[in-house]
Structure 1
Amino acid sequence: MPQKIYVGNLPKNIGNEVLTEKFSKYGHVCSAKIIKDRETNLSMGFGFVEMESPEEAERAIVNLNGSVFNGRSISVVEAKKSLLH
């Protein structure tokens, strides 16, 4: 069963492909999406990654939460259902 992960404090200049590549080291990435401002189409600095299994998601969370990505310390946590709606 796929598991969604919230990724915060992302560098503004990365795209979905870079996010996919970063997380694919920990398992199969079903999807990765940087959230963009509707008016400017610029990154809002956060996104969501969906991993194929809860085990892969947990591995990514443990290894990436608090890590430095392009000079920024990123937040990687299980996505809460309230964030997904």
Structure 2
Amino acid sequence: MSNKLYVGNLSWNTDGAALENAFGGYGTITETKVITDRETGRSRGFGFVTFSNEEDAQKALAMDGAQIDGRTLKVSLARERDDRPARRPVGNRY
């Protein structure tokens, strides 16, 4: 299992502090991170919340479907980078 949650469908205005406020009631959070575009610095609409243990992360899955900043969250256990499906290269695109 994992103690890290994926949080999707975030508003561009939602930051790490807002995630910590929303998820903090489920247990001790060790890290929050909203993923941003490298070039613009703008939120990409998803992030991660890491709890100190797996039990707290499991409890926080209850936030799936909750609202933050007017958006309905999609919350699931985060997958390790190696567990993600491989992206196929697309060739000869113009």
**1:53 corresponds to which residue?**
53
CA RMSD of aligned residues (A): 1.8
The Cα of 1:71 is off from its aligned counterpart by 1.4
Percentage of matched positions with identical amino acids: 37
**1:38 corresponds to which residue?**
38
The Cα of 1:68 is off from its aligned counterpart by 1.6
| DSSP-derived class of the 2:41 partner | coil
Relative distance call for 1:17 and 1:83 in structure 2 (3 A) is: farther
More helix by share: 1
User: Could you tell me whether the CA contact under 8 Å between 2:7 and 2:74 is conserved in 1?
Assistant: yes
What is the number of equivalent residue pairs in this alignment? 83
Question: Normalising to structure 2: TM-score of the pair?
Answer: 0.81
**C-alpha distance after superposition, 1:10-31 (max 9, x if no partner):** 1110111111111111100000
| DSSP-derived class of the 1:18 partner | helix
Q: 2-side partners of 1:28 and 1:73: how far apart?
A: 23
User: Could you tell me whether the CA contact under 8 Å between 2:32 and 2:47 is conserved in 1?
Assistant: yes
The Cα of 1:82 is off from its aligned counterpart by 2.7
* Correspondences of 1:1-85 after superposition (within 5 Å): 3-62=3-62, 64-82=63-81
Q: 2-side partners of 1:84 and 1:16: how far apart?
A: 25
Q: 2-side partners of 1:18 and 1:68: how far apart?
A: 12
Task: List gaps (5 residues or longer) in structure 2.
Answer: 85-94
Determine which structure has more spread, i.e. the larger CA radius of gyration.
2
